[in-house]
Chains A and B, each alone.
Chain A
Amino acid sequence: MTLSTPPIDPWAAVPVTIIVGHAPVMPVIERMIAAHTGTGIGIGNDNGTDNDNVAILDTTPGPTHSGPGWLSLPAVTGQRTPDCGCCQARLDIVDGLRIMVERPTPPSHIVVWVGDDHDIATVVRTVLSDPDLARLIRLDSVIATVDAPTLSTRLALNLPLADRHQAEQLAIADRVMVMESQHVTAGTRQQVIRAISTINRVGFIIDPGLDRVGWSDLCDIDGWHGAPLTTPRTAGITTHTHLADGLETITCWVNGAVNPPVFDAWINDIVMGNSSRILRLQGALRINGQAERTCLRGVRSFVSSHSESEHAAHRRSRHSVLAIVGNDLDAPEIRSGFMSTLAG
């Protein structure tokens, strides 16, 4: 496990949105740009004089888009250990983000558009853990898009809703955008949203065809910083949610404080023992004697921590909560292990 310290002032870093999808992504990017600039589609100029711009790092395969503020790079995955998927890094994303941010006037927001067959955990791990990127950018959110007609057809045919890559993308997304829902009935749309909600337990599902989508729905989400969004409906218990094919979200939530040394040892074991399976780890832990909770975030073998004092007061609570999204996790063991870390 790698414990690292984020930049002293995380808000000085350029926010980054990772967007991935099996539905058209461009409309979402265009909405973000329009919402950001307030002037419609326009990414600002490319000579560094416009500080109110959204830049796009496009790592999708196939024909590249172009335009000011647009950088297209083919995906390049590097390995730290032979045949080990848990500590891979996307070198193209490191290169691209550095080129975009290390400028006289960096963009005010960056969208990283990754191909729909890319491993989302490797992308997130790269953005969260790379030491050069840590001083330049901060992960704002992961947005996944789905095509409502395609999903409704799969539901009607009793086919799996998503393949492994897509399911993982949906499971860890902060926002799932249901696209093209105007082509399905209201009932079918509800079926699609219900199906997605069985996979995604940590974000919001948005239908831009029906919902009014503004800047705050897509940007300044800060989804990977602070306590996880998910909480069980009943306080004082731990829950886990089974998803398709071993993919699940485990949420542990108690009105109590953890014992720091015990928790550190336990979370280290969990991460090391499940490094290839953890897709998203996020928590906020109450510690006796400390006014602020300690927040955790991670993916695969990477975990970092920070104080909740960095967040606005309305986002804080006095509970200890931990959410883990992953494949083939031992939910009972994690549940009992978490409870064993509670103080007194």
Chain B
Amino acid sequence: MTAEPLSTLTPLWHTTLPDAARAVQWSASGLVTGSVDGSVARHNVDTSAGANRTVIATTTGAVTCLTASASSIVAGDTSGVITTVANGGEPTMSAPGPPVMGCVYVGDTVVAIAGERVIDATGATVVDTTPAGRLRTLTPTGITPTDVLVGGTDGLAWIDLADRRVRQHLGLCSVMACAVDPTANLAAAGDLSGSLHLVHHEDAEGTELTGYPDRVNLIAWTASGTWVAAAAADEITVWKSDSASDAADEPVLLQGHEQSVTALVAHDTHDLLVSGDADGTIALWSPGIADRPICVTQTHGAVLALQWDHDHQRLAISTSTGHVMVAVLTLGALA
């Protein structure tokens, strides 16, 4: 059978939760959602919609982030508690503190950011303070298995978790989001003033790309490292990575959203982007085609989180109305 020319996202499964899910994560045991009411729930998306929700933990605050390994699910919340559910056992919780703004597995270790600290799943300090200030964003760099990039009110900091030290720092005004090039050469950071910064990991030198209509909240780098996308207000622009350091080049505006873009994710193996907005519009983009999305689907409420599964075929989507949807990607022949 010949593939259709354009890739598509087709809704496969959905459910409605009692509260908004601000985080979704795929785990070995299914889809996990983290809600504002503090519930962390596991869903079997292979069954029909409805009665397949199992609450595996209830945190003390609103869930802000989720990460998962083969055996554990970890949630951070607004009360600063990190909740770990391992192998279906009873949840364990860290002591409260500043809100957990992000958490991620780096190897087999959970790393989270809360206040000015980088912490582990027990809430113990990994790095007490960094030059990046109050931290908001966190991502592994891929340079070494223990290297992470954090961004905060005072800029970016590259942290070697093995040595528990900051190995590089770049002062910027209020970093809102960061992402790294899959080839591990560059980092991208969006700031409060509406600039995108492309920075070399090696020396923290880089380029500032200005002109976004407001703070740059969301950044994604496509799988090949060819394109970096950044969203601010209702605009998404993409830069070709190899020319983005040349400030004379113009970014390409992806045209399709009429409301604020609230979520953005890149596919892990193909140069595709998915964005969601405050109106519930989900757009699938091939970065080379800027005139319109190659596929659009609709959900209810503002899109709060997007997450590809480990096979890169199913996309989990959660919204402010508590709607959770899984859509299946069918790759097109051309884009």
Chain B contact surface mostly: loop
User: Is A187 part of the contact surface with B, judged by Cβ < 8 Å?
Assistant: no
8 Å CB contact of B19 from A76, A81, A95, A103: A103
Give the size range of A's interface with the partner: 20 to 34
Chain B stretch 1-49: residues in CB contact (< 8 A) with chain A:
18-20, 22, 36-37
Q: Which B residue's beta carbon lies closest to that of A102?
A: B320
User: Is B259 part of the contact surface with A, judged by Cβ < 8 Å?
Assistant: yes
User: Is A131 part of the contact surface with B, judged by Cβ < 8 Å?
Assistant: yes
Complex: A135 Cα to B320 Cα, angstroms? 13
Complex: A259 Cα to B249 Cα, angstroms? 41
Complex: A19 Cα to B322 Cα, angstroms? 30
Q: Which B residue's beta carbon lies closest to that of A94?
A: B215
Which of A76, A87, A135 has the most chain B CB atoms closer than 10 A to its own CB?
A: A76
- Encode B72-100 as 1/0 by CB contact (under 8 A) with A: 00000011000000000000000000110
- Encode A59-90 as 1/0 by CB contact (under 8 A) with B: 00000000000011110111111100001010
Known contacts A78-B192, A131-B260; A103 and B174 CB within 8 A of each other: no
User: Is the Cβ of B174 less than 8 Å from the Cβ of A47?
Assistant: no
User: Is B214 part of the contact surface with A, judged by Cβ < 8 Å?
Assistant: yes
Q: Which A residue's beta carbon lies closest to that of B136?
A: A91
User: Is A3 part of the contact surface with B, judged by Cβ < 8 Å?
Assistant: no
8 Å CB contact of B320 from A74, A80, A104: A104
Q: Which B residue's beta carbon lies closest to that of A79?
A: B173
Give the size range of B's interface with the partner: 35 or more
Chain A stretch 130-170: residues in CB contact (< 8 A) with chain B:
131-132, 135
Closest-CB distance, B76 to chain A (whole angstroms): 13
Known contacts A73-B99, A102-B304, A135-B260; A78 and B19 CB within 8 A of each other: no
Known contacts A131-B233, A132-B260; A104 and B192 CB within 8 A of each other: no
User: Is B169 part of the contact surface with A, judged by Cβ < 8 Å?
Assistant: no
Chain B stretch 288-306: residues in CB contact (< 8 A) with chain A:
301-302, 304
User: Is the Cβ of A80 less than 8 Å from the Cβ of B192?
Assistant: yes
Closest-CB distance, A89 to chain B (whole angstroms): 6
Complex: A23 Cα to B79 Cα, angstroms? 26
User: Is A244 part of the contact surface with B, judged by Cβ < 8 Å?
Assistant: no
- Complex interface: chain B residues within 8 A of A74 (CB): 98-99, 115
- Complex interface: chain B residues within 8 A of A71 (CB): 61-62, 78
User: Is the Cβ of A76 less than 8 Å from the Cβ of B193?
Assistant: no
- Complex interface: chain A residues within 8 A of B320 (CB): 102-104
- Complex interface: chain A residues within 8 A of B173 (CB): 78-82
Chain B stretch 155-199: residues in CB contact (< 8 A) with chain A:
173-174, 191-194
Complex: A133 Cα to B10 Cα, angstroms? 31
User: Is the Cβ of B192 less than 8 Å from the Cβ of A131?
Assistant: no
- Complex interface: chain A residues within 8 A of B262 (CB): 132
User: Is the Cβ of A79 less than 8 Å from the Cβ of B153?
Assistant: yes
User: Is the Cβ of A131 less than 8 Å from the Cβ of B174?
Assistant: no
User: Is the Cβ of A104 less than 8 Å from the Cβ of B19?
Assistant: yes
Closest-CB distance, B108 to chain A (whole angstroms): 30
User: Is B254 part of the contact surface with A, judged by Cβ < 8 Å?
Assistant: no
User: Is B321 part of the contact surface with A, judged by Cβ < 8 Å?
Assistant: yes
User: Is A46 part of the contact surface with B, judged by Cβ < 8 Å?
Assistant: yes
- Complex interface: chain A residues within 8 A of B79 (CB): 72
User: Is B278 part of the contact surface with A, judged by Cβ < 8 Å?
Assistant: yes
Closest-CB distance, B38 to chain A (whole angstroms): 8
Chain B stretch 199-257: residues in CB contact (< 8 A) with chain A:
213-215, 233
Q: Which B residue's beta carbon lies closest to that of A68?
A: B37
Complex: A80 Cα to B322 Cα, angstroms? 33
- Complex interface: chain A residues within 8 A of B260 (CB): 131-132, 135
8 Å CB contact of A47 from B19, B61, B213: B19
Chain A stretch 18-43: residues in CB contact (< 8 A) with chain B:
none
User: Is A273 part of the contact surface with B, judged by Cβ < 8 Å?
Assistant: no
Chain A stretch 72-123: residues in CB contact (< 8 A) with chain B:
72-74, 76-82, 87, 89, 91, 95, 99, 102-104
User: Is the Cβ of B19 less than 8 Å from the Cβ of A102?
Assistant: no
- Encode B109-138 as 1/0 by CB contact (under 8 A) with A: 000000100000000000000000010100
Q: Which A residue's beta carbon lies closest to that of B16?
A: A104
User: Is A246 part of the contact surface with B, judged by Cβ < 8 Å?
Assistant: no
- Complex interface: chain A residues within 8 A of B19 (CB): 47-48, 103-104
8 Å CB contact of B62 from A49, A78, A99, A132: A99
8 Å CB contact of A135 from B22, B61, B174, B278: B278
Complex: A104 Cα to B22 Cα, angstroms? 12
Complex: A91 Cα to B177 Cα, angstroms? 13
Closest-CB distance, A303 to chain B (whole angstroms): 16
Q: Which A residue's beta carbon lies closest to that of B259?
A: A135
- Complex interface: chain B residues within 8 A of A80 (CB): 173-174, 191-194
Closest-CB distance, A57 to chain B (whole angstroms): 11
Complex: A135 Cα to B260 Cα, angstroms? 9
Q: Which A residue's beta carbon lies closest to that of B97?
A: A74
Complex: A81 Cα to B191 Cα, angstroms? 10
Q: Which A residue's beta carbon lies closest to that of B279?
A: A135
Known contacts A71-B78, A79-B153; A48 and B18 CB within 8 A of each other: yes
Known contacts A78-B174, A91-B153, A135-B260; A99 and B18 CB within 8 A of each other: no
Q: Which A residue's beta carbon lies closest to that of B214?
A: A131
User: Is the Cβ of A89 less than 8 Å from the Cβ of B192?
Assistant: yes
Closest-CB distance, B14 to chain A (whole angstroms): 15
- Give 20 new A-B contacts, CB below 8 A, not counting A102-B36, A104-B20: A48-B18, A48-B20, A71-B78, A72-B78, A72-B79, A74-B99, A76-B153, A77-B153, A78-B192, A79-B192, A80-B191, A80-B192, A81-B193, A82-B173, A102-B22, A104-B18, A131-B213, A131-B215, A132-B260, A132-B262
Residues in chain A within 8 A of chain B (CB atoms):
46-49, 71-74, 76-82, 87, 89, 91, 95, 99, 102-104, 131-132, 135
14 A-B pairs with CB atoms under 8 Å apart are A47-B19, A48-B37, A71-B61, A71-B62, A71-B78, A79-B153, A79-B174, A99-B62, A102-B36, A103-B322, A131-B233, A132-B260, A135-B259, A135-B278
